Amino acid sequence: MNLPATLYYGKKLVYSADGSITFYSLEYNEGYRAKSVGAFTESLHKFIIPSGVKELIKKKSVALLDLCTGAGYNLAVLLSELLEIKGKHDIFIVTVDKDEKLKKIIDNTLFLWPREGFKTLKLLINGYNIKGITLCSHIIDVRTFLNNCTFLFDIIFFDPFSKKNNHELWNMSIYKKLYEVLLKNGRVLTYASSRYVIRDFETVGFKHFKIPKLQYSFSDSSVFIKSD
């Protein structure tokens, strides 16, 4: 398959190690996924599996907050995994990203993989209920959303660009807001694992658990659990 060599909705198209396609942001000078690991592989092993969502939905209804949704890989991989489970799932997903072009990418792109995951994500964004899964999409700054959020979540995917390029989302005030909008035993999943990030999350009240790094990845990633 030949991909466009020019910009795609203002993003650069990038092949990643596992064959899946990701994008590069010119605004942040950073890729949405680690090219060396693979977009699909990174989402699966750094977000979906350690979130425990497949086990949790067997016990209760689940509310999931996806902050900095990007091109939708975390959700597409999640949905691909959930579609393999028979029956309906009572799961409510909220997405937050300030870049309106990303919704257009998800809505109009046919070559993203996993295909069934992205196909389902597109339907959910357009208001469909799929096997008990519903989605509410917000095109808004994460800080504004968190400052006005009164809903509580079981799981948060926290996936901004790096602190170097997206420093406004890596600070104590944001971590406190994440803590406030989580239910007890709720989890924050993030690729970040620096000792400074871990220290600040723990200062807010989270317990930290390390996700060992993947092959060709430069660092571990993290699960932060609200235990009280």
Q: Which two tokens stand for residue 78?
A: 């999640």
Q: Give the N- to C-terminal CA distance of the chain in Å, as an integer.
A: 50
Domain 39-226 part of CATH 3.40.50.150: yes
**Predicted structure pTM score:** 0.94
- pLDDT by residue, tens only, the chain of 228 residues: 454 445 788 889 888 999 898 999 989 999 999 888 899 999 999 999 999 999 999 999 999 999 999 999 999 999 999 999 888 889 999 999 999 988 888 888 888 889 999 999 999 999 999 999 999 999 999 999 999 999 999 999 999 999 999 999 999 999 999 999 999 999 999 999 999 999 999 999 999 999 988 776 667 899 999 987
Is residue 224 within 8 A of residue 192, CB to CB? The reply is no
CB contact burial 74-102 (16+ within 10 A = b; e otherwise): bbbbbbbbbbeeeeebebbbbbbbebeeb
Q: What is the largest CA-CA distance in the chain?
A: 51
Q: Please report the sign of the dihedral spanned by the C-alpha atoms of residue 163, residue 166, residue 168, residue 174.
A: negative
